[in-house]
């Protein structure tokens, strides 16, 4: 880059930064906080006395840029604020509050040195907070105190431009900036919708929904377990979530769910309600597998049925070391024996049995080996 294009680049960069700052100011949402530098916006309401006019003082602030100086008892300025919606607001003003020997010298509580009001609303009660000594002045003059004057939860009944007045009831008062914060509770968020369940098992299920709000703090899920009535299941699902897994369900249960969103303004209506039926557990495994009536062409398997919720039994066979295969999966519930008619003479057969239902198979029983005899030649 040559010198000229560097110059243009820097100039353009400055311009871009300026544009970014302007767009930040114009997109600022008073729902959080708005800061107004008094020197940028003030109007002179009253200029009295002999100490001088109200003026922007670029050298008297501690760290926050220029301030406006009110030189006489009776000097008064105003600042216009756009209040976009009715509600409650906190006002705070950063002011010179004392000399180096008295941190509250210019505070209303001690000397009534400032007077704050809004046109149409009269005087506002401000109280002082957080006095700090100015480092800038400390170096030159031993420091002066600055502090925050605050009026909390001022009710403003209509939106629009409000004219905020600051009047000096003493001499040499300095005002830096004002912050306005909307402290109204937000509107209740919009209710979530499309509540549905997925991944339902005997011990857990997932709830899914559509998040319709952009101002919720959290979601609240209520559950009605097996007709016992709705109870809050959780209220700590974070904002913008669209799913939640309930790991506290049991097998064969019937659960109703509904969900709402919530913020400091309150709780939304509930979503649609859903009913979710959890699945069964897999049945208990059969045991004590044994064989009887072993011949060269058939043998009988016997076992203990340990379950009351199986749909069927599954028998697996490993014939002569070829590996386990399902011999049959259609042995009826509550059976305790099965005859294998597909064995051959001189065979070595391993067996194992399991019960099963819609949740899946049980563990296997013990394994047995049955050796079939030779066919006797006549």
Chosen residue from 34, 71, 168, 279 binding Ca ion by CB under 5 A: 71
Closest CB 9 distance from Ca ion, rounded Å? 31
Please give the residues from 130 up to 149 whose contact with Ca ion meets the rule CB under 5 A: none
Residue-wise burial string across 356-371, b where 16 or more C-beta atoms lie within 10 A, e elsewhere: bbebebbebbeebebe
Among 49, 186, 253, 265, interactor with Ca ion by CB under 5 A? 49
Per DSSP, the residues of 343-377 read --TT-EEEEEEEEEETTEE------EEEEPPPPPP
**176 contacts Ca ion (rule: CB under 5 A):** yes
Q: Supply the DSSP symbol for 99.
A: B
- HSE, CB side, 13 Å, CA atoms: give it for residue 153: 1
**Other beta carbons less than 10 A from residue 317's beta carbon:** 20
Asked whether position 172 contacts Ca ion by CB under 5 A, the answer is: no
Say if CB 99 and CB 145 are below 8 A apart.
yes
Nearer to Ca ion by C-beta: 49 or 131? 49
Q: Which stretch binds Ca ion (CB under 5 A): 2-10, 165-173, 204-212, 221-229?
A: 204-212
- x/- site string to Ca ion, residues 305 to 344, per CB under 5 A? x-x--------------------------x----------
Nearby residues of 256 by Cβ (< 8 Å), 6 or more positions away: 223, 224, 230, 273, 274, 275, 276
Q: Judged by CB, which is closer to Ca ion: 254, or 334?
A: 334
Query: Least distance in Å: CB of 190 to Ca ion?
Result: 9
User: Does 76 engage in binding with Ca ion (CB under 5 A)?
Assistant: no
Per-residue x/- track, 85-124, Ca ion (CB under 5 A)? ----------------------------------------
Q: Shortest gap between Cβ of 296 and Ca ion (angstroms)? A: 32
Q: How many residues bind Ca ion (CB under 5 A)?
A: 16
As given in the structure block, the two tokens for residue 323 are 């590996």
For 136, list phi and psi in degrees, rounded to 5: -60, -45
267 is an interface residue for Ca ion by CB under 5 A:
no
Angle 108-159-189 from CA coordinates, rounded to 5°: 105
Among all residues, whose Cβ is closest to Ca ion? 72
Question: Which lies closer to Ca ion via its Cβ, residue 284 or residue 368?
Answer: 284
The secondary structure element, H or E, covering residue 316 is strand 312-319
Give the interface with Ca ion as residue ranges (CB under 5 A): 37, 39, 47, 49, 65, 71-72, 75, 176-177, 211, 213, 240, 305, 307, 334
């Amino acid at each position: 880059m040559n010198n000229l294009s560097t110059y243009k680049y820097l100039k353009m960069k400055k311009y871009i930064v300026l544009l970014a700052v302007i767009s930040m100011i114009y997109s600022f949402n008073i729902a959080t906080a708005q800061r107004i530098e008094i020197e940028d916006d003030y109007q002179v309401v009253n200029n009295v006395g002999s100490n001088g006019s109200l003026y922007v003082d670029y050298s008297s602030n501690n760290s926050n840029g220029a301030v406006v100086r009110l030189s006489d008892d009776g000097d008064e300025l105003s600042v216009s604020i756009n209040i976009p919606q009715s509600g409650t607001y906190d006002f705070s003003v950063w002011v010179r509050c004392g000399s180096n020997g008295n941190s509250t010298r210019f505070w209303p509580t001690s000397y009534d040195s400032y007077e704050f009001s809004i046109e149409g609303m009269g005087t506002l009660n401000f109280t002082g907070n957080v006095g700090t000594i100015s480092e800038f002045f400390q170096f030159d003059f031993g420091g002066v105190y600055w502090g925050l004057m605050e009026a909390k939860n001022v009710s403003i009944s209509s939106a629009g431009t409000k004219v905020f007045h600051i009047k000096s009831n003493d001499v040499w008062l300095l005002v830096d900036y004002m912050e306005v914060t909307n402290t109204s509770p937000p509107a209740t968020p919009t209710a979530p919708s499309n509540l549905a369940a997925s991944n339902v098992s005997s011990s857990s299920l997932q709830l899914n929904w559509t998040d319709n709000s952009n101002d919720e703090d959290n979601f609240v899920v209520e559950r009605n377990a097996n007709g016992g009535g709705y109870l809050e299941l959780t209220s700590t699902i974070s904002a913008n979530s669209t799913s939640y897994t309930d790991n506290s369900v049991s097998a064969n249960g019937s659960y109703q769910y509904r969900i709402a969103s919530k913020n400091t303004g309150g709780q939304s209506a509930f979503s649609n309600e859903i009913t979710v039926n959890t699945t069964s557990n897999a049945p208990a495994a059969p045991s004590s597998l044994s064989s009887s009536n072993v011949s060269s062409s058939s043998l009988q398997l016997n076992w203990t049925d340990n379950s009351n919720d199986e749909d069927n039994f599954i028998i697996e066979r490993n014939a002569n070391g070829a590996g386990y295969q399902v011999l049959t999966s259609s042995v009826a519930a509550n059976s305790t024996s099965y005859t294998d008619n597909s064995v051959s003479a001189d065979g070595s057969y391993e067996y194992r049995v399991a019960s099963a239902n819609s949740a899946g198979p049980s563990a296997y029983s013990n394994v047995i080996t049955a050796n079939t005899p030779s066919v006797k030649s006549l």
